Each structure stands twice: as structure tokens, then as C-alpha cells.
Amino acid sequence: MIKKLDKLIIRSFVGPFVVTFFVTLFVLVMQFFWLYMDELIGKGLGVWMILQLLLYISSTLVPLALPLGVLLASIMTFGNLGENFELVAIKSSGISLLRFMRPLLVFMIFVSGAAFVFSNNVIPVANLKALSLLYDLRNSKPTFNIRAGQFNNDIKGFSIRVGSKDPDGKTIRDIIIYDQSSGYGNDKVILAEKGQMIPSADKQSLIFRMNNGWRYEEQQSQRGANRNPQMRLHFESWDKVFDISSFKVTRTNQDLFKNAYQMMNVSQLTEGIDSMKRKSKTIARTVSAYLAPYQLLLKQETENKDLLAKVKANAAPIRTFDSTFNELIPDSLKASTLQLSVANLRSIKNSLDMASLDSRAQKENYIRYNVEWHKKFVLSFACILLFLIGAPLGAIIRKGGLGMPLVIAVLFFVVFHITSVTGEKLAESAVLPAWAGMWMATAMLLPIAIVLIQQARNDSQIFSKEWYTRIWTGMTAIVSRSRKKH
């Protein structure tokens, strides 16, 4: 009977889990496209490129969709069992809620392990592919599109206008082309009665094959702008070739992005953290070695503290800078000595500024690497934690479907997500250590999960409508009796 119950609960959970996960992932992907729609629309993206972007973005959004899918599926599963009184029958047969949750807990451990493998191996590659592709698409030009009756300035150095376009999309009429490629303004003008737009075989050029037209050219002369000769040529057929290679999406070398911390797995992040620790020590040693020659006088004074104390005790006159400079430095060397001192001080300041900037950059990268390292493990533990919240919640509310479970799941997930983002920002700003910021959300929700499990074991009715109705009825009855007495 126990084995049958284990199969029952797993079958009841897997279906809603798969559905809610993909629905949540779809919503998040649509939210992404809604956010970047203005930058991607009109770029002439092919079907294959759109499918690639969908695949990569979907992979990067799994850390958000998976915990929400687990939470919603667990609430729906146990809510359905509670609504159909199956939980009551199971408890009445002597099986505790924790024993009933055990097979799903084991299943969630496997899911969390798979989530860690996915986060450690797939997401870095997906981030690399998605961010590089998104960078190329955002920086590419819109597709070249000539509209009838409007001037088009997309091709640098040319302003093109066509009076009308035939339904075939190729034939154009009343063509006007202002050629400004020479840098002297509209010194070349092309007029044609009719023509065709023909793309080249490699899609790198666009050919305007024009018929029955005129070419007007103003030739620049060295004798002055007012005496520039003009030339007019008539043509029966003439081809004007435009370079449109810049309108094609060009892919950037992905090696330029692969050293970012989002593109690394746990072992690479660990290696990067260790190398940053070693480099910070190297910076300190380099600065100390550079300043060593300038610290000679300071070291000598530090070693002769007793001698300085005796001099001060005997009230011996202390030389000031001015007196020492005037007495020991000849007049012929004073200017060069001051210049050399100022140059040394500037060199020291520049070196310290460079070392400070380098050290600050290393510290920021060190924090980011630590945050990303902990994020790999937070995803896996979040799946287990949200299951431990969702299962007892479903047993308490005893409502299945997508009504109440969806509302409560979204509420808890919003709290979890906001707390996670807040902890991540606090860690990145060095307000909290990386481990404290990244695990803050789970530390806050873990006690809630323990309380909910305890309430579910005791058949708590805190989410039952009838329980609040009985309380309200009792309170109104007490108020009514007190009024009758008075």
C-alpha cells in the first residue's frame, strides 16, 4: 500500500510540475521579448535566429522558472488531495504527512541535483550564446526598406526616394537619388523614370537597375565654388550598386565575452577567486617595493626613536625644512632639487592611484565571482525549500486548480525573489558578505517552511474559509448577547 501511495503522489505531482514549469518559462520568455521588442523589431531576423534566441534565453531563465514551478505544482498537488479528502483518508490509515511527503522530497533532491548540473554546465554556455547574440542584434541596423513617397537615408551618403512601388516589390517608378558620398553635399543627382531593385547573390549589395533617366554631376574645381562645371548625362539603362553589407547581422567573436563571470562554472569561478586573492597580494608587494626607496628616511627615523627622544629631551634646536634646504643645498641645485622632488611626489601619487584603482576593480570582481559561485547552489536549495513550503500550504488550504494556489504561490515567490535580489545587491555593494547576501532569502523562508509543516501535521485551518466564518459567527453572537444584557 505504501508503494502504491508513493506512485500516486509522484504521478500526481509530475504532471502539474511539468505544466507549471513550461507555462512559467513561457511567461518569462515573453516578458523578455516585450522588454527588448523595440530594439529587435525591424531587424529582419530570420526564423533560425529567432529560434536560437528563444532557446538561449529560455535556458538562462530556468533559475527563475524552476522554483516557481516547484512551488505552484506542490501547492496544486496537495491542494487537490486535500480537496478530495484523500489526505484525510491517508492520515486516518496511520500514515503521517511527513511520510507521505517523503517520495516527493526524494524526487525534489534529484531535481535539485539536476538543477545544479544545469546551472553549472548549461547556463554559462547559454549566457555566452544569448548575451553575444543579443549584443549583435541590438547593435545591428534595421533592415533596408524603401517606402513609396518617402526619402530613405539608411545607406550612408545617399538619400533615395521612389514615387511608387509595383505589387511585385521590385519595380519602382519616379526615382530620385541624391549622392552625398563625396562629402560636398548633393553634388550628384540621379533621376529615372522606372527601375528595379535587385539584390545580389550574396545579399551584400542592392542593385538599382534604372531605365530612361538623367545623371547630374557637379565637378569640384580648384578655381572656386562659383566656377564648378556641371555635367548632365542621359542613359537608357544604368545600374547603381549600393553596399548593404552593414544591414546584415554580423556575429561578434564569442571569445570576447567568455571571461565574464556569468559564463563560468563553479570550478572556473573558484580558480578565478583564488587568482584574485593572489593578485591582491601581488599588488600590495609591488606598491611596497616601489615605495621602498622613498621610505628610507622614514625607516631610519623609526629605527632611531631613542635618539630622537634624547634630542628632544635636551631641547636641541630642531631643523626645519627651510633651514635644512637653505644650509645644505647649494643655490645652483635648489631649482633642480625642487623639480626632482615634485616629480618624485607626482610619480608616487600616480602609482598609488593606479594601485588603488586596480585594487578596487579586483575587489569588485572578487565580490561578483563569489556572488555567482553561491548562486549556483542557491538555485538547487531553493527548489527543495519551496517544495517544503508549497506541500504543507496545499495540505492546509485544501484547494486545487489554478485559483487560490496560483495566488499564494505567486505571493511567496515574489517575496522569495525580492529578498534574493535584495540580498544579491547588498552583497555586490559589499554591505553584506557574499554568502550572507545570497543565502538571505532561504534563511528567511526556512523558518516559515518549518512552521507550515508543523501546522499541516496538526491539520491547521488558518486558510480555511469555514474556520474564519465560524470565528466571525462566534464573535457576532458574543456581541449580540452583550447588547441584550445591556
Write down the pLDDT at residue 467: 58
Torsion of CA 318, 320, 326, 329, to 10 degrees: 80
Interval 450-472 mean pLDDT: 70
Interval 184-211 mean pLDDT: 82
Largest CA distance in the chain: 116
Indicate the SS3 state at residue 333. Answer: helix
- What are the pLDDT digits (tens) for 92-105? 777 777 887 888 88
Q: Is the pLDDT of residue 1 over 50?
A: no
224 DSSP assignment: -
Residue 327 CB contacts under 8 Å (≥ 6 apart), including other chains: none
How many contiguous H segments (helices) and E segments (strands) does the chain have?
15, 6
- What are the pLDDT digits (tens) for 330-383? 667 767 777 777 787 787 788 778 877 777 878 888 888 888 888 888 888 888
Length of the chain measured in residues: 486
Give the model's confidence band at 8: pLDDT under 50 very low, under 70 low, under 90 confident, else very high: confident
Whole-angstrom Cα distance, residue 128 to residue 33?
Answer: 18
Residue 178 CB contacts under 8 Å (≥ 6 apart), including other chains: 158, 159, 160, 186, 188, 189
Query: What is the residue-averaged pLDDT of the chain?
Result: 77
Beta strand ranges found along 20-157 (DSSP E) = 151-152
Q: Is the pTM of this model over 0.85?
A: no
Write down the pLDDT at residue 246: 63
Q: Is the pLDDT of residue 295 over 80?
A: no
CA nearest neighbour of 251 among 140, 362, 121: 140
Write down the pLDDT at residue 208: 86
Give the model's confidence band at 316: pLDDT under 50 very low, under 70 low, under 90 confident, else very high: very low
Write down the pLDDT at residue 186: 74
Residue 373 contacts residue 266 (beta carbons within 8 Å): yes
Whole-angstrom Cα distance, residue 132 to residue 137?
Answer: 9
Q: Cell numbers of 357, please?
A: 584603482
Question: Strand 158-165 to strand 151-152: parallel, antiparallel, or no bridges (unpaired)?
Answer: antiparallel
Q: Is the pLDDT of residue 394 over 70?
A: yes
Angle, helices 331-397 vs 404-428, to 10°: value is 160
Q: Cell numbers of 71, please?
A: 512551488
Write down the pLDDT at residue 307: 44
Output Rg (C-alpha) for the chain, integer angstroms. 38
Range of weakest confidence among 15-19, 285-289, 298-302, 356-360: 298-302
Write down the pLDDT at residue 319: 46
Whole-angstrom Cα distance, residue 38 to residue 59?
Answer: 22
Question: Taking the CB of residue 267, how many other CB atoms lie within 10 A of it?
Answer: 9
Write down the pLDDT at residue 247: 61
Interval 28-45 mean pLDDT: 72
- What are the pLDDT digits (tens) for 269-293? 888 888 888 877 777 777 777 776 6
Write down the pLDDT at residue 253: 61
Write down the pLDDT at residue 149: 80
